[in-house]
């Protein structure tokens, strides 16, 4: 870690960070948070600097963001805890709702697929948005009352981690009445995050109990799981949820972020940890985003997830955002 320079980003949203998105060609970072903020930062690799570009506030908590290439240029979309899907207009500092949206609960996942937007909701709704018309053109609902927890998309398929620890694969483009194929989750406890491998030959899934499962679609003999984000004491072992996953592009190098406040780096080919980044702070690592030059790390106080009660004196620690120059 000594060879990396870490810069803490000023003017970070204080509330829980829900998504971090890297725009490598523009050298920008987009962050959404539960206080309704959409924040855009500019970064410079040569000078190791990060600066605030713009900031918009929506009236509801924002859960996800996505950048979509359209015939009219690139568009930013966000989704909210109220089930909204919104096109962002940075010039007018406004949000334009997507038409014919059927979601009734929050939408934690939105992804770009060939100029369209795929959205997954807590009510189990999957929707495809035509970004040229800003309108939903396909809507399906997962069976058995499953909720979408995490989702990832590449040029051929989509993988979804749902409630009840189910994982489903879909061939893309999404077709009407397609419920997907249920596949092995590889984990005993509820999944937190799922990511397709950069090669498209499998996926990784993290869970509440400090484990990551690595699954391969064509060769089950290659699958494995490993423990991480644990603290081994003399008479006990503390286990932390693995909240965030991010691959270094075009590689088998995976970063994991946990509620222990740390980030680990793994080589999935050798099945070994190759680097352990020092603990950032006392908050949980909740979001990661990576390219060849930088790793973005967002930490937030997620103690509200395990606190049974909340009184007037209960106050969450502010979120923080770091850029690790690789």
pLDDT tens readout for residues 100-135? 999 999 999 999 999 999 999 999 999 999 999 999
**What is the Rg, in whole angstroms, of the alpha carbon atoms belonging to the chain?**
19
Tell me if the pTM is above 0.85.
Answer: yes
What superfamily does domain 59-285 belong to in CATH?
YVTN repeat-like/Quinoprotein amine dehydrogenase (2.130.10.10)
- The residues, any chain, with a CB within 8 Å of residue 88's CB and separated by 6 or more, are 38, 56, 75, 76, 77, 78, 95, 96
What backbone phi and psi angles, to 5 degrees, belong to 19?
Answer: -160, 145
First vs last Cα of the chain: how many Å apart? 9
How, if at all, do strands 211-216 and 202-207 pair? antiparallel
Least confident range from 87-96, 127-136, 245-254: namely 87-96
Which 3 state secondary structure label does DSSP give 48?
Answer: coil
Residues 303-308, mean pLDDT to the nearest whole number: 70
The 10s digit of each residue's pLDDT in 169-189 is 999 999 999 989 998 788 999
- The residues, any chain, with a CB within 8 Å of residue 68's CB and separated by 6 or more, are 74, 75, 76, 77, 112, 115, 116, 117, 131
Structural domain boundaries in the chain: 59-285
Residue with tokens 């605030």: 52
The 10s digit of each residue's pLDDT in 198-232 is 999 999 999 999 999 999 999 989 999 999 999 88
Tokens matching residue 205: 């899934």
């Amino acid at each position: 870690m000594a060879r990396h320079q870490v810069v803490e980003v000023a003017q970070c949203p204080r509330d829980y960070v829900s998504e971090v998105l890297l725009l490598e060609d523009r050298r920008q970072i987009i962050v959404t948070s539960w206080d309704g903020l959409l924040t855009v930062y500019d970064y410079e690799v040569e000078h190791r600097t990060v600066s605030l570009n713009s900031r918009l506030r929506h009236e509801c908590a924002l859960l996800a963001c996505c950048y979509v290439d359209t015939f009219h240029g690139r568009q930013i979309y966000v989704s909210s805890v109220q089930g909204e899907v919104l096109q962002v207009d940075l010039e007018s500092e406004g949000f334009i709702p997507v038409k014919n949206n059927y979601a009734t609960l929050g939408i934690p996942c939105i992804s770009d697929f060939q100029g369209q937007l795929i959205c997954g909701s807590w009510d189990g709704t999957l929707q495809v948005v035509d970004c040229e018309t800003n309108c939903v053109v396909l809507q399906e609902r997962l069976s058995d009352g499953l909720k979408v927890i995490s989702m990832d998309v590449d040029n051929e398929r989509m993988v979804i981690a749902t409630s009840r620890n189910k994982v489903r694969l879909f061939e893309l483009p999404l077709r009407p009445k397609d419920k997907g194929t249920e596949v092995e989750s590889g984990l005993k406890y509820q999944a937190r995050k799922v990511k397709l491998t950069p090669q498209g030959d499998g996926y990784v899934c993290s869970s509440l109990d400090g484990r990551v499962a690595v699954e391969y679609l064509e060769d089950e003999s290659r699958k494995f799981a490993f423990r991480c984000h644990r603290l081994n004491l003399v008479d006990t072992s503390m286990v932390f949820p693995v909240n965030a996953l991010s691959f270094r592009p075009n590689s088998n190098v995976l970063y994991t972020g946990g509620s222990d406040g740390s980030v680990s780096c793994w080589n999935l080919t050798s099945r070994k940890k190759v680097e352990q980044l020092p603990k950032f702070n006392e908050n949980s690592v909740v979001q990661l985003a990576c390219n060849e030059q930088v790793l973005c790390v967002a930490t937030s106080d997620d103690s509200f997830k395990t606190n049974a009660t909340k009184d007037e004196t209960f106050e969450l620690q502010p979120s923080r955002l770091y850029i690790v120059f690789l």
